[in-house]
C-alpha cells in the first residue's frame, strides 16, 4: 500500500466522522432545543429507528460482498453514495413548518440508511486493501486519525457556524439562555450545508485515491453466510465491545451540550481572557485532538501488548478517570481540571477506536479461514450496526435520564439541583459503568496476538493454494 492510499482511505472516515459526531453530540440537542421535540419523543425516535438498521446493515454487507465492478467490490459505493450522503445530512438538520414528528422519523431513517450504504462497504474496503494484520492496524490508525481530524473540524466549527448564520443572534444572547450556541433552525440548516459539501468532496477523494489489492469472494448462499456469522463467537464478543465503546463516547458526548448550556456556562467564570474555553464545542474538539494522539499510540501499544490487552488497559483507565470526573467542582480551577481530564480520557478512547476496526478485520480473516468463505462486508456491517445502536442507545438513554431527573428544555429555564446532578452522573458514573461492562465482554475474546499470527499464516497459504489451482 502506498501513502496515497492510506491518506485516501483516511479521507473516507474523515467525512463519515464529521457527520457522525454532529449526529451523536448535537442532534439530540437539536431535536429537543431547536427542532421542538420533547426529550421523551426524541429518545423514542432514536431507538425505534434502530429496528430498520438491524435489517439494512447486514443486507448492505451481503450486497457488497457480492458486488463485482471494474472498480472492485466495496470501493464503488464511495462514489455512488457520496451525494445522497451529503443531501440526507442537510435534510436531517432541516426544520419544517408542519409535520415535524413525521419529518424527523423519515429523515433520520433515510440518513441512517444512506450512512449504511456508504460505510459498510467503506469499512470492508480495509480488508481488501491489505492482507497483513499489522498493516491493517496501521491502515485503521490512518482511518481513525483522519476521522478524529474531521470530528475536530466539525465540532470546533459547529457553534461558530450556527452563530454566524443566525440573524437573530443578538436577541438570543440578550435572553441570557444558551449563549454559546444559536437555536435558530435556519442557522443549523445552513451550517450543515457547508459541512455536507466538504464531506461530499472527501468521499470522492477517498474513492479516487484507494485501490483493492486482495481478491476475496463469498462462495456460499446468503442463508449460509448468516448461519456461519451467528456461530462466530469472536464476532459476538466484538459486537459487545464495539457497542460498549460507542455507548461510552455517545453518552458523554450527547450530555456535553446540556452539561455546558445548563451547568458550566452558568457557573464557571474564567474571566474575559479564557471565556472562549467555556464552550461545548471547545471541550469536544479538544477531545478530538487528544483522540488523534491516542490513535498514534494504538499501533505501538497493540504490537507490544496485543489488541485485546490494549483494549482492556484503556477501558480500565477510562473507568478511573470517569469516576474522578464526577468530583471535579464547577469552579475556575475545577474547569481547568475538567479540560485536562477530557484530554486524557480522549487519548484512551482514541487508542480504542482503531483497535475495534482492526479487530473486525481479524474476525473477518478468522471467519474466512474457519468457514472457507469471505463474508467481509457482512462482518463489517455489524460494525456499522454496533456504531448506530451504541449511538441510539446512548442518545436515548441520555434524554430519558434527563427527563427522569426533571431537566427543563424551555429556553432560559433554571435547572433544579436534581437535574444538574443527573448531568454530572451522565458525564461520569454512567460511562464508567459502560467501560466496566466492556472489559467483562472483551475478557473472553479469543483472537489474541498469537492466535492471529497463526490465522494469518494459514490463510495466506490457503489463498495461495486457491490462486494456484485457478
| Dihedral sign (CA 193, 195, 199, 205) | positive
Enumerate the domain spans of the chain.
Answer: 3-469
Cα separation of 337 and 320, whole Å? 15
The pLDDT of residue 177? 41
Instruction: Looking at the structure, give the CATH architecture of the domain made up of residues 3-469.
Output: Up-down Bundle (1.20)
User: pLDDT of 339-385, one tens digit each?
Assistant: 999 999 999 999 998 888 788 888 888 888 887 776 777 777 777 77
Cα–Cα distances in angstroms (integers) from residue 156 to residues 12, 149, 151, 168, 468, in the given order: 20, 10, 8, 22, 53
| Dihedral sign (CA 379, 26, 49, 407) | positive
Cα separation of 369 and 116, whole Å? 26
User: pLDDT of 316-348, one tens digit each?
Assistant: 999 999 999 999 999 999 999 999 999 999 999
- Residue 11, C-alpha cell as written in the block: 479521507
pTM here is 0.76
Q: HSE on the CB side for 352, CA within 13 Å?
A: 27
Contact 35, 339 (CB under 8 A): no
Contact 151, 22 (CB under 8 A): no
Among 252, 275, 250, 253, residue whose Cα is nearest residue 265: 275
Output the average pLDDT for the chain: 87
pLDDT for residue 44 is more than 90: no
The pLDDT of residue 3? 92
Numbers of helices and strands, H then E, in the chain? 21, 0
The residue written with cell numbers 449504511 in the block is 116
Q: Which range among 95-104, 142-151, 201-210, 227-236 shows the weakest confidence by mean pLDDT? A: 227-236
The DSSP string of 111-148 is HHHHHHHHHHHHHHHHHHH---HHHHHHHHHHHHHHHH
Among 254, 15, 277, 26, residue whose Cα is nearest residue 149: 15
The pLDDT of residue 436? 97
The pLDDT of residue 279? 87
Contact 394, 26 (CB under 8 A): no
Cα separation of 354 and 380, whole Å? 14
- Residue 451, C-alpha cell as written in the block: 492466535
SS3 72: strand
Cα separation of 144 and 152, whole Å? 12
In this prediction, residue 469 has a pLDDT band, given cuts at 50, 70 and 90, of: low
The DSSP string of 378-438 is HHHHHHHHHHHHHHHHHHHHHHHHHHHTT---STTPPPPHHHHHHHHHHTTHHHHHHHHHH
Percent of the chain with pLDDT over 90: 44
Amino acid at each position: 500500500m502506498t501513502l496515497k492510499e492510506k491518506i485516501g482511505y483516511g479521507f473516507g472516515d474523515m467525512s463519515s466522522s464529521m457527520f457522525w459526531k454532529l449526529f451523536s453530540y448535537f442532534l439530540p440537542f437539536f431535536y429537543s432545543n431547536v427542532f421542538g421535540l420533547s426529550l421523551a419523543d426524541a429518545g423514542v425516535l432514536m431507538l425505534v429507528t434502530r429496528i430498520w438498521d438491524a435489517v439494512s446493515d447486514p443486507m448492505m454487507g451481503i450486497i457488497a460482498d457480492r458486488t463485482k465492478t471494474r472498480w472492485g467490490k466495496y470501493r464503488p459505493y464511495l462514489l455512488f453514495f457520496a451525494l445522497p450522503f451529503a443531501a440526507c445530512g442537510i435534510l436531517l438538520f432541516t426544520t419544517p413548518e408542519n409535520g415535524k414528528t413525521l419529518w424527523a422519523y423519515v429523515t433520520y431513517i433515510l440518513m441512517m440508511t444512506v450512512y449504511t450504504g456508504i460505510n459498510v462497504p467503506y469499512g470492508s474496503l480495509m480488508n481488501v486493501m491489505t492482507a497483513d494484520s499489522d498493516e491493517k492496524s496501521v491502515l485503521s490508525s490512518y482511518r481513525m486519525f483522519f476521522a478524529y481530524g474531521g470530528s475536530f473540524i466539525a465540532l470546533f466549527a459547529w457553534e461558530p457556524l450556527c452563530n454566524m448564520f443566525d440573524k437573530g443572534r443578538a436577541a438570543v444572547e440578550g435572553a441570557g439562555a444558551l449563549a454559546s450556541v444559536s437555536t435558530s433552525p435556519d442557522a443549523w440548516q445552513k451550517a450543515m450545508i457547508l459541512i455536507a459539501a466538504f464531506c461530499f468532496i472527501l468521499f470522492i477523494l477517498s474513492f479516487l485515491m484507494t485501490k483493492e489489492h486482495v481478491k476475496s469472494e463469498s462462495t456460499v448462499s446468503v442463508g449460509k453466510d448468516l448461519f456461519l456469522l451467528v456461530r462466530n463467537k469472536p464476532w459476538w464478543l466484538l459486537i459487545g465491545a464495539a457497542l460498549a465503546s460507542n455507548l461510552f463516547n455517545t453518552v458523554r458526548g450527547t450530555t456535553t451540550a446540556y452539561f455546558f448550556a445548563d451547568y458550566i456556562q452558568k457557573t464557571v467564570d474564567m474571566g474575559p481572557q479564557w471565556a472562549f474555553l467555556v464552550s461545548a464545542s471547545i471541550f469536544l474538539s479538544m477531545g478530538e485532538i487528544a483522540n488523534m494522539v491516542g490513535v498514534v499510540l494504538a499501533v505501538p501499544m497493540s504490537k507490544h501488548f496485543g489488541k485485546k490487552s490494549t483494549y482492556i488497559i484503556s477501558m480500565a483507565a477510562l473507568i478511573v478517570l470517569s469516576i474522578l470526573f464526577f468530583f471535579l467542582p464547577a469552579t475556575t480551577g475545577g474547569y481547568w481540571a475538567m479540560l485536562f481530564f477530557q484530554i486524557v480520557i480522549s487519548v484512551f478512547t482514541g487508542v480504542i477506536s482503531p483497535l475495534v476496526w482492526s479487530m473486525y478485520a481479524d474476525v473477518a480473516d478468522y471467519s474466512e479461514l474457519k468457514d472457507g468463505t469471505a463474508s467481509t462486508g457482512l462482518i463489517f456491517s455489524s460494525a456499522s450496526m454496533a456504531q448506530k445502536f451504541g449511538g441510539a442507545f446512548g442518545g436515548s438513554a441520555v434524554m430519558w435520564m434527563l427527563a427522569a431527573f426533571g431537566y427543563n428544555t424551555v429556553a432560559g429555564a433554571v435547572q433544579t439541583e436534581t437535574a444538574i446532578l443527573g448531568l454530572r452522573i451522565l458525564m461520569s458514573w454512567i460511562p464508567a459503568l459502560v467501560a466496566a461492562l466492556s472489559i467483562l465482554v472483551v475478557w473472553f475474546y479469543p483472537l489474541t496476538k498469537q492466535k492471529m499470527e497463526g490465522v494469518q499464516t494459514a490463510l495466506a497459504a490457503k489463498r495461495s493454494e486457491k490462486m494456484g489451482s485457478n
